[in-house]
Structure formats: structure tokens, C-alpha cells
Amino acid sequence: MTTNLQNIRQVIAQLPVIGPIAKSVYRAIVPGAASPQFSSSSQYWEDRYKLGGNSGAGSYGRLADFKAVVINKFVADNEVKTVIEFGSGDGAQLEQAHYPSYTGVDVSARAVQLCQDRFRKDPSKRFVLASSPEADAIRAELAMSLDVIYHLVEDSVYDQYMMRLITAAERYICIYSSNTPRQSPDKHVRHRVFTDWMAQKAPAWKLISKIENPFPEDPAIPHETSWADFYFFQKS
């Protein structure tokens, strides 16, 4: 029985999106199966990956395609040689990336392992745990945060994350996120006006470009739309 349950979980984990229907199917087949309970940002994502979940809808389908086109163009146009991403997740989005050198940092040990396995034959990519000393020492021309900021519900975690992001960046910062103070019913989501944080605590970084999402949030198709837009900053 255990093997069968593991197989079911693996099949569901391979779906492009772990949507409500897939979750319902799994819970119906496996008594007691549930989404990860929330107690902290890092714990939520570690449990989510351990339970066979993925990085979310934004890393798949047309949303992932849009993100890849924008970032790949920015990297090419600005001759960016090194990239670091804080919140690399399961690596699904990275499949479409064209970066000369990439470092992925994540709070989830499971996510780091998934990426190391996924890209084990690609020497241009490496992955480190956010709690490791190595993560604090790495610098790159472009530092990225994709679909992460609105998942940082604790103020201290948010501040620490933002400081890490600006410290690691040598030339540019790319943030893909919501930028609003609105409330969310989900415990693992907290929207923030991060541009205010940048203006107050990182005034040397100037917003040089905002690219609006061509698939803005639509409650009717939540897994194909997003509240996130692109914001690019350059160090003055």
C-alpha cells in the first residue's frame, strides 16, 4: 500500500500545477492526506516539497514562458554573466533560462536537492541552502526574486530576505511580485509594497523598468494568471 501511495503522490507531483482538483483526488484516495500546515514561511515550503508539491502555477505554462522571455532578454541585452536567485524552488522555471552562470538559493533542503538532481549534468548551475554560509558570500551581476516576496509573511524574514537580495546584487535586481498592501486569505501569502522598502532602505537602487504581466490576475483562471509584475532596478 505504501508503494502505491508513493506512486500516486509522484504522479500528482509531475502535473504542471497541483491545483484544487489534483489535491482533491489525492485526498480522496489517501485518507489523511493534506496540504502543509503553516507555522512559518520556511517550514511551509519545506513541507510542501516533501509532500510532493511544486513551486506553484507561476513556474509552469504561459506564466513561466512569459517570465523566461523577459529575463532571458534582459540578461542578453545587458550582457549579464552571473545570476543569483533567492528562492529557486523546484527548478521548473529554470528549465527555460539562458544564463551563463547561475546560483540558486532556497530555504528548503528538499528543493535544493531536487534542483541538484535535475541539473546535475549542467556545470553552469549550482544550488545552495539559504542557511549555509556560502549563500551569504555569493555575489552576482543580477540578483533575482521571482514569486517569493509575497510568501514572506514574517516581517523579520522579509527584511532579512530583502537585505540579502540587495547585498548579493552587483549591477541589477529583478523582482517579480505583487506590489500592493492588500490582504490575502491564505496564511502563506502576505502582499507588500516592496518598492517602498527599496526607496527607504536601498536608495542607491533605482527602478529602471516595470513590465506588466500580460496575464493579470483573474479569479476565474487563477493558475493561468498572476498578480505579479516585473520590476528591474539598477545600482546608481
Band of residue 82 on the pLDDT scale cut at 50, 70, 90: very high
pTM of the full predicted structure?
0.80
Write out pLDDT tens, residues 46-73. Answer: 666 665 655 566 677 899 999 999 999 9
Going by C-beta distance under 8 Å and a sequence separation of 6 or more, which residues neighbour residue 28? none
Mean pLDDT within 170-199: 92
Domain spans of the chain, in order of start: 2-34, 57-235
Q: What is the pLDDT of residue 2?
A: 41
Average model confidence (pLDDT) for the chain? 84
Q: What is the pLDDT of residue 94?
A: 94
Going by C-beta distance under 8 Å and a sequence separation of 6 or more, which residues neighbour residue 156? none
Q: Does the 57-235 domain belong in CATH 3.40.50.150? A: yes
pLDDT at 21 exceeding the cut of 60: no
Mean pLDDT within 159-166: 97
Band of residue 28 on the pLDDT scale cut at 50, 70, 90: very low
Inter-residue contact 155 to 41 (CB < 8 Å): no
